[in-house]
Structure 1
Amino acid sequence: MELSKRLMFIADYIDKCNSIIDVGTDHGYIPIYAVKKGLCERAIASDINKDPVKKAKLNVVLENVEDKVEVRFGGGLETVKKGEVDSVVIAGMGGNLIRDILEKDKNKLLSYKFMILQPAQNPEVLREYLYTNGYEILAEDLCLDEGIYYELFKVKKSNSVGLTELNPIFYEISPILLREKHKLMNSYLESKKEKYEKILRFIKDDSESAKKRKDEISDKLDYIQRFKLEVSE
């Protein structure tokens, strides 16, 4: 089975484990790949929509892994009992929704060895939540697939990790990836710059709220320019 670049990006961060759940599994590709490659003994593919569940069940049969991959219908982590799996993948949905899924079932989170989270939108919302709610950041990464940047968080819930409150710009642009001078960071910053310059051009009125918004975006553009210089050094 061939995985897309985005899905392979996730799979590369799966440590060998006993069991894993893929929340929002769509076609079930990640769980199937994980068991076939020996990354885990068994896997659960879950989705809140019926069509992906049907597709995942079919793929499980076609790939001959019915004894190792179970497909479940339901939302978030509600499809697994506490301690039933030891690792988690949540991908393909917005950062807001991933945050809400974690918050809803936070009583289960300490039992997971790791959680791999890949938001499709609003990664800054998820990063702020992770940084300020006692998650140990095991890794952050960035990939570009078909013209879209995807951010990845590999985390573990911990009672011993303190809260990290940062300048809001660092929830939007990873301080870890900046420090590491990630190979995609320069082009990623350039895409952010273009996005904000476009927004500025569309703000035409002179109301107080518009002026405030312009100032906020101008501040972000100043940070981005500074970051670009730092990663180029």
Structure 2
Amino acid sequence: MILNLKGRLKLIADKVPKCNVLADIGTDHAYIPIYLVRNGVCKKAIASDIKIGPVKIASNNISLYKLSEKIETRLGNGLDTIEIDEADTIIIAGMGGTLLTELLEANKQKAVNANALVLQPMNDLHVIRKWLYDNAFEIYDEEIVAEGPKMYCVICTKFNGKKKQYTDFELHVGQSLIEKKDPLLASYCKMKVKQIDRVLEQLEDMKENDVLKSQYIRQKKDYINLIEKL
């Protein structure tokens, strides 16, 4: 039985290094661990979710692909479902950046001990990057993928014990994306400019938000400057 991943899920899977045990936090249908075990990227996997519904679906899919001996499902919140050093690679994907950050903060040592974290926040990427930099994690790769009109960014990171100095704009656009000249970066920046324009329209008549407006205007200029350099 063939399992082909596309778009966001395929990019997440492609960023996972060879590992012994993968933990997929917020696994949903368990497609990524199934794909990675079947393709020999990881020897075993843990597929966990906070809701019983997705865990049942994941279990059914794992059984369908005859991988019950190699992939274990667990019900629970975030990294609470794994022990320290149990998984050498951890995926956390498909949730808001603020929630994702809270899950990392709640079990920081598990994140520190992992060889690699593959993160795919649905929003608030600046929150994730700030937490990683402030907690001495290295972002060694990032990539953007498009699914229809939406764009998603996958962040690959690991603990290296060195806190990074950063600008505000580096939190909004990852340095790895700029350095590698990600082919979707210009389109991503144009999308962010449109989002800022919509926010500025809403703030137009609100004088008490002058400081906030200035921040968005500065961000917009930074995005435009980057587009012109690409």
Report the equivalent of 1:196: 196
Report the equivalent of 2:214: 215
What secondary structure does 2:84 align onto? coil
What secondary structure does 1:92 align onto? strand
Q: How does 1:1-233 map to 2 (within 5 A)?
A: 1-159=3-161, 161=162, 163-207=163-207, 209-231=208-230
After superposition, what is the alpha-carbon deviation per residue over 1:98-146, rounded to whole angstroms, capped at 9, x for unaligned? 1111111112233311110110111111011112210022211111112
Structure 1's 48 and 170: CA in aligned 2 closer, same or farther, altered over 3 A? same
| CA RMSD of superposed structures (Å) | 1.3
What secondary structure does 2:100 align onto? helix
Superposition deviation, residue 180 in structure 1: 2.3
Letter in 1 for 2:107: D
Per the normalisation by structure 1, the TM-score is 0.93
Superposition deviation, residue 206 in structure 1: 4.4
After superposition, what is the alpha-carbon deviation per residue over 1:184-216, rounded to whole angstroms, capped at 9, x for unaligned? 111111101111112212223242x22222222
What secondary structure does 2:79 align onto? coil
Letter in 1 for 2:179: R
What secondary structure does 1:78 align onto? helix
Q: Quick one: distance in 2 between partners of 1:95 and 1:85?
A: 22
Structure 1 gaps of 5+ residues are none
Aligned residues: 228
After superposition, what is the alpha-carbon deviation per residue over 1:44-79, rounded to whole angstroms, capped at 9, x for unaligned? 000001110010011011111111110000011111
Structure 1's 61 and 216: CA in aligned 2 closer, same or farther, altered over 3 A? same
Q: Which moved more, 1:57-66 or 1:145-154?
A: 145-154
Question: Does structure 1 retain, via aligned residues, the 8 Å contact 2:23–2:89?
Answer: yes
What secondary structure does 1:27 align onto? coil
Structure 2 gaps of 5+ residues are none
Q: Quick one: distance in 2 between partners of 1:124 and 1:28?
A: 27
